[in-house]
Amino acid sequence: MAPPKLFRVYSWNVNGIRAVTKKGFFDWLRKARADVVALQETRAHPEQLEPEVLRPKRWRSHWVSAERKGYSGVGMYSRKEPDEVAGSILGVPELDDEGRLQLMRFGALTIVNGYFPNGSGRDRDHSRVPYKLDFYRKLFDRLEAARASGERLLVLGDFNTAHREIDLARPKQNKKTSGFLDEEREELDRWLRSGWIDTYRERHGDREGEYTWWSQRFGVREKNIGWRIDMVLCSEAVRPFLLDARIHAKVMGSDHCPISVDLDPAVLEP
């Protein structure tokens, strides 16, 4: 558990919760000093999980699954019972049915865990880009009044978009790849222009060479040919409480690595 003067939140696309638990996930969790761990691409319904995965000792958990088994899904572990829990928060069946969002509130802090869609279709085309952009826009609209009124919000997870050229190793070669298309980057840029804060950039400026996802092709991760597509965005009201934002690139078990933010625990207080 995190020290008393720290509230630590992790985000990790685990690329299958059942797979990652066979690759040292719980060893990592015991050492992470986390208060909240948000997971994406869990690929499981709760009834498919072993009890020790569904609700580990000394943790609370909440799961949101896609209608289609073995696909998408998000989950959260928390040390304390949340004051509010919700899934399917967009109210649009075609967006909610893929189990990509959940909301948890701890005191004055609301955490939204998101597994944002990839724009690539089954044929590696861009057929899912309209769906992806609709997801971004509907979530933005869902949260905008709360953000604008000064609520403390985190939106974290796998955004499936690299925002700037410094956010991937090979930007020129990926101009026409989903995840770095102009329209995808512009939509993420709209969030930031509107007042959302990229916590990693807030703490580390234009630091380069730190990524959160690597292709599983041989040697790619070892050469650090990656993308920074996992992020924690915060509302302006959270900025005074932000202590650190980190990328944990050495943690293995998935094609993504965990990321985290450390917050002053006063962020939870009204």
Active site residues: 158
If residue 52 lies in a helix (H) or strand (E), which one and from where to where? Answer: helix 51-54
Kindly report the number of other CB atoms within 10 A of residue 230's CB atom: 24
| Contact in structure between 173 and 131 (CB atoms under 8 Å) | no
CA distances from 113 to 3, 121, 223, 228 (A): 23, 23, 30, 17
| Contact in structure between 153 and 199 (CB atoms under 8 Å) | no
And the tokens for 102? 């959940």
Sorted by sequence, the CB contacts under 8 Å of residue 67 that are 6+ apart come out as: 97, 98, 99
| Residue in the block written with tokens 């939509």 | 187
| Contact in structure between 232 and 262 (CB atoms under 8 Å) | no
